[in-house]
Structure 1
Amino acid sequence: MTVEYKTIVVPADGSENSKRALQHAVSIAERNKAQLVVVHVANIVSAISNFDQTPISGGYVSEQIAEDMEETGKEILNDVVKEVPADVTVKSVFEVGSPGPAVLAVAKKFNADLIVMGSRGLGPLKGLFMGSVSSYVTSHSTCPVLVVK
């Protein structure tokens, strides 16, 4: 039996591990003529909770955080897309929410055959990938998950 990968989801947070995961995903995509779906998840709730000691005047802080996170996320996605060879089809997706469930939702939406992700993200200080997202994804995914160290 031959397993064919047509759509590969790759979470990207700018960390070294996510860059290594991308290299593996590109290699698999090239061999299988698969498309990559690169997803960045902005975990705004965790970022705002880091600011709960800050007095907020007029409620603009959370809006600013959201805008900053979106800008950062789109920069990360653009940088990742530039790393993908021209012969590989790539889509980029920006999501807001809890990283594990958001990655799985994107995988379901695009009918992914495989998720390739780093074992660790940037951690809570960056507010992008919190906790063990890879273990959440591996235990809840309906498709195979390759975790790259």
Structure 2
Amino acid sequence: MQKILLPVDGSIHSMKALKIASDLTAKYQGRLYILHSLLRGKDASGLMALDISSQFEKPLQQVLNKAMSANMGPAPDKVLYKIGQIILDHFGEKARAQGVAFEVLPIVSGKPADEILKMQEEIEAGTIVMGARGVTPSDSSTFGSISQEVFSRAQCTCISVK
């Protein structure tokens, strides 16, 4: 369990997963890898509903508020990359504060479950720790659609945090 992959999306569950992943990283003297996949398909209201939206700078909040009032549909990649970087910076700061060895991975843009599993293989992570639910609505009562797919396909230990 020396390499732990932590996919993050800015949800409260991914914030809780960081604590568990950090504890495991410290206990097993491992390294934490923080990954974010673009929140494709999210509109401005969905982005402003993120638990991490309080970290958005005022100009970004204004752009999102304007897009919400105009009902502009899914946010463009440029905005999603900006938000993704804010999310990664936030999680990196929290990991640093917890004193664990970590690496913030580059933002990925493909299908989230595929990207998570691809990165797990690439870095040879022995464990994936992720929120049971993220920012994508799911009809499942326990797991979100992305975590459910990752857990069913992963060839490593998976820890779900709720």
TM bucket (normalised to shorter chain) is: 0.7 to 0.9
Aligned length: 128
In the alignment, the residues of structure 2 paired with residue 118 and residue 43 of structure 1 have an alpha-carbon distance, to the nearest angstrom, of: 15
**TM (normalized to structure 2)?**
0.72
Instruction: Show the counterpart of 1:58.
Output: none
In the alignment, the residues of structure 2 paired with residue 43 and residue 106 of structure 1 have an alpha-carbon distance, to the nearest angstrom, of: 17
Per the TM alignment, residue 43 of structure 1 is displaced from its structure 2 partner at its CA by: 4.2
The amino acid across from 1:140 in the alignment is R
Instruction: Show the counterpart of 1:57.
Output: none
The 3-state SS of whatever aligns with 2:10 is coil
Q: Does 1:30 align with 2:26?
A: yes
- How has the CA–CA distance of structure 1 residues 35 and 12 changed in structure 2, closer, same or farther, with 3 Å as cutoff? same
Q: Does 1:83 align with 2:79?
A: no
What do the CA deviations read for 1:95-118 (whole angstroms, capped 9, x no partner)? 101111111111111000000000
In the alignment, the residues of structure 1 paired with residue 85 and residue 120 of structure 2 have an alpha-carbon distance, to the nearest angstrom, of: 19
The 3-state SS of whatever aligns with 2:35 is strand
Higher helix share: 2
Q: Does 1:71 align with 2:82?
A: yes
Percent identical among aligned pairs is 28
Q: Does 1:148 align with 2:144?
A: no
Instruction: Show the counterpart of 2:59.
Output: none
Higher strand share: 1
Per the TM alignment, residue 92 of structure 1 is displaced from its structure 2 partner at its CA by: 1.2
In the alignment, the residues of structure 2 paired with residue 104 and residue 13 of structure 1 have an alpha-carbon distance, to the nearest angstrom, of: 16
**TM (normalized to structure 1)?**
0.78
Return structure 1 stretches of 4+ with deviation > 6 angstroms: none
Per the TM alignment, residue 85 of structure 1 is displaced from its structure 2 partner at its CA by: 3.8
Unaligned runs of 5+ in 1: 49-53, 55-60, 125-130
Instruction: Show the counterpart of 1:92.
Output: 104
Please say if residues 9 and 39 of structure 2, whose CA atoms lie closer than 8 Å, have aligned partners that are also in contact: no
Instruction: Show the counterpart of 2:50.
Output: none
